[in-house]
Chain A
């Protein structure tokens, strides 16, 4: 049940352009252990900007 809830939550967030923060932290730990990952707030702001900063702003008719 909590699995389903998590999937729904992640779906809802990605629908508005915010990918999974935990996956980002894992990626940074695996591939860039020397760099400090952005915190949740910075990550959220970064993704919010990126969603509408041009190429991906197109919504369908």
Chain B
């Protein structure tokens, strides 16, 4: 009994912190209460719930050879130390998602986001990652699509693969959009990000020929280069010659990114992608650690209210009410379907023993949730006036400090034009108005936290651009790597109809698939950039819906596998989060399609504009009939996309129910596991 005492203590501390966070109204509380509440909840959940799942639901067996043992080859299949593998897995799952979603969710106050991240990760997100990892370990480290095909049939596998490809397209578009929003009209930011290209080329040549394989030293050289770029970026931005050269409009940046994506994804990986991967990975891990330390040292008060008036809908950053939209706005961090692709990627091939699976599958996701909590804290420590100035579309608040201050003050968050102008000046930008997308808001928060610890007011602009660079860098790496991954997915899909398309000897299929992939995300990026409502408003919910649907698909796979293992009585572990995600995504998808509110429903928005267009009217924010037509067209494409996602998830639901019922009719387990007694290869 005594071994439970420390955990009981942690649970009490956590419950107390959570009640402080949840119950305080009116008075300002310290951000550390959220951190303590989250960390204690995660520790207790890991100690009890992850272990319960491991022992009773999955019945993990440490003596059963994992793929890394059975198929050891020293390359892809390597039994890896569990701490080392934890780092690998965490670096693979942590991206921009957990940083952006919580920042956007903060428009409803800090409380809804905090509660959803904590509950979501414990009951859904970490369960999903852990479950898919377990399923893949028992099946030779196969990928999600293959696992679904094995357990639910060929058709279900193909549908899931197609769904995953579409989700990839939306993720790439939305990530690229965030970069556009962060770098538009910002010569300092643009210069530092542009400088990473020659820097990465140099690093690539260095690791290829000068000192092959010396990742450590080349990364240090690269980091020095990055810091130099941030420092010199300021003078570049202020220079009358260079400043304008690095100043781009959103549309120009959009085309630059599309061109970049197309070129970068066909270059040899060692030249650009791999070296930038080193920089972005190490910078990401370093920045996350620094942010955690910074928040603890600064212990900032939360200035955002616990709840804002936007919980009923009508918020400026994104439309829709708390239910269901907060549950799709915070996707990564609480539960992310994309992780199912990682958990069935390299990690199951590297895990040394099934006993390590809870730490890696469940534990790494808790860590990601912690990152999301920090992002939420970042958004909530800012002056709410600044937050809403940065996250409201220009159509609502205008483009100069006076109009923005008037509009935001009218929302109930008083702010002076001087403060808006001063904040922009502090971070070294021309303007902070309508910098939606989450990244710039988080960068202002990180600048606040870092400059409190190092450098003070004078370093704020440096830290702001450091934060922008850190986010842009790993988003660009994701765009590049994602385009390559999407290309292979597309080749697999097309090969189902045209088998020769998989032929790796000829270049044409690869080029065509790459082109199609870039064109697909480029289309949505362009749509987002030219969207008068700011783009993030439209695309982020579509991304959230698709990502959560992939999570539901992964959890449905988990449910089907539990039924086939004859572990039905424990299936609630995956059924509860599945049902919740289905409720959230189906209702959000339904609202996005059919809501009568044109701010929420794509079709309602399209008909409103179509009706006006018929009468020859031009509705703001469109400025011409051509723009009207484009808005209508975009709405219908988005609606079709959401409809497609709904169809994918519903058909997988059908296959899951069918699989579970079939498994119930058979007395013995039918899951396609590799038998435990199978001897290692060789």
Contact = CB atoms under 8 A, between A and B. Distances in A.
A46 B81 CA distance: 22
B332 A14 contact: no
The CB with the most chain B CB atoms within 10 A, among A13, A25, A48, A61, is that of A61
Contacts of A50: 75-76
A61 B143 contact: no
A54 B93 CA distance: 17
Interface residues of A, number: 42
A60 B331 CA distance: 12
Contacts of B153: none
Given A16-B277, A52-B269, A52-B274, A58 B485 contact: yes
B482 A15 contact: no
Contacts of A53: 269
Contacts of B84: 7, 10-11, 14
A7 B124 CA distance: 31
B81 A10 contact: yes
A45 B268 CA distance: 11
Contacts of A47: 75
A38 to B, nearest CB: 9
Contact of B338 (A13, A45, A48, A61): A61
Interface residues of B, number: 60
Given A48-B270, A58-B345, A40 B482 contact: no
B212 A58 contact: no
Interface in A1-39: 7, 9-20, 23-28, 31, 37
Contacts of B93: 60
Contact of A49 (B91, B269, B478): B269
Interface string B79-96: 011011101100111111
B21 interface: no
Contact of B94 (A19, A20, A44, A60): A60
A46 B216 CA distance: 18
Interface in B461-487: 474, 477-478, 481-482, 484-485
Given A50-B75, A61-B95, 19 more contacts: A7-B83, A12-B87, A15-B285, A17-B277, A19-B75, A26-B74, A44-B212, A51-B274, A54-B484, A55-B485, A56-B345, A58-B338, A58-B481, A58-B485, A59-B478, A59-B482, A60-B478, A61-B96, A61-B97
Interface of B: 72-76, 78, 80-81, 83-85, 87-88, 91-97, 143, 168, 171, 175, 207-208, 212-213, 215-216, 269-270, 273-274, 277-278, 281-282, 285, 331-332, 336, 338-339, 341-342, 345-346, 350, 474, 477-478, 481-482, 484-485, 488, 543, 547, 682
11 contacts: A11-B83, A18-B213, A23-B78, A44-B212, A49-B270, A56-B345, A57-B485, A58-B481, A59-B478, A60-B97, A60-B338
3 A-B pairs with the lowest CB-CB distances in the bound complex, closest first:
A27-B74, A24-B74, A61-B97
Interface of A: 7, 9-20, 23-28, 31, 37, 40-41, 43-61
